[in-house]
A = this chain, B = another copy of it.
Amino acid sequence: MKSNRFFNRDVVSIKDFQRDELEFLFEKTDKMKKLNPKEKDELGKARIMGYLFYEPSTRTRMSFEAAMASIGGSSIGISDLKSSSIEKGESLQDTVHVMDLYSDLIILRHQLDGSSKFAAEISEHPIINGGSGSEEHPTQAMLDLYTILKEKKKIDGLKIIILGDLKYGRTIYSLLYGLANYDVEIILVSPPTLQIRQESIYGLKNKMKIVELVEMDETIIKNSDILYVTRIQKERFSDPQEYEKVKGTYTIDSNMLKKFKPDISIMHPLPRMDEISRDLDNTNNAVYFKQASYGKDLRSALLALILNESPL
């Protein structure tokens, strides 16, 4: 049996995890799904997950809480620390220190790059980065990779389009670093003003083929296996007309879908606005809800592996 390298470990950056570690996690996630509720209940019984969310995130928080509850554990925490008057003036350091005393692991979401690394140095219990700064959201990347694997039975050899706002979406950066463990081809498609930050993917370009475009062309559309869509936020544009102009280009509907490979998998980290038309929801191509479901499974497995030396 392989040893559990997740036991008692921080999850600060997707960059800290090697391919064999990710695959170990994916195997354990498969095992987790086969357990019945009462078997799962033993894995987190009487254990406490503390969460500290300096930025609100209903989606990520719910997913972790559901994961923890499904293995029989409890959650305590604060979901909008930034506006919590009581915490005004208390340092991140002290807040993490105290939560460390109250819980068996901590989920931290914070606006600053490096916040999770900093917290991991303070905390005796493991820190899981629930999204930090402009480019880290490691568990989102893990669940994205797991989703691709479940849908395509492999990750190597795939052509993956990532579409939308690539400048501000932190999930994209973690996903790219996760994908860099595999032999994939990446096509980044975004409006000129929302292109990926070059300095953040420096070092990735010699690990995998990355193409950057402002529009999809037919060859790319015809040959891709995954279409990963992200939200384009109106607020990012100084000129509303600029937004209206690009909006259509980055919207996927059933007409658009016909141009892709029949088995294209459409992913989205959610919440979705208009960028994927609702009439795709019932197609086999729509993977975005499955992705949320895989997320709960993967996070359950991750929590179980961190909390127990040989859980699964």
Contacts and interface: CB of A to CB of B under 8 A. Distances in A.
Interface of A: 37-38, 40-41, 45-48, 50, 56-59, 62-63, 65-66, 69-72, 74-78, 84-87, 89-91, 93-95, 97-99, 101-103, 270-273, 278, 289, 292-293, 296
Given A56-B85, A86-B271, 8 more contacts: A37-B45, A37-B46, A46-B70, A62-B102, A66-B103, A90-B270, A94-B270, A94-B272
B62 A97 contact: no
A66 B289 contact: no
A48 B76 contact: no
A298 to B, nearest CB: 13
A78 B58 contact: yes
A45 B85 CA distance: 33
Chain A's interface: helix, strand, loop or mixed, by majority?
A: helix
Contacts of A270: 90, 94, 98
Nearest to A66: B102
Contacts of A62: 50, 76-78, 98-99, 102
A41 B44 CA distance: 11
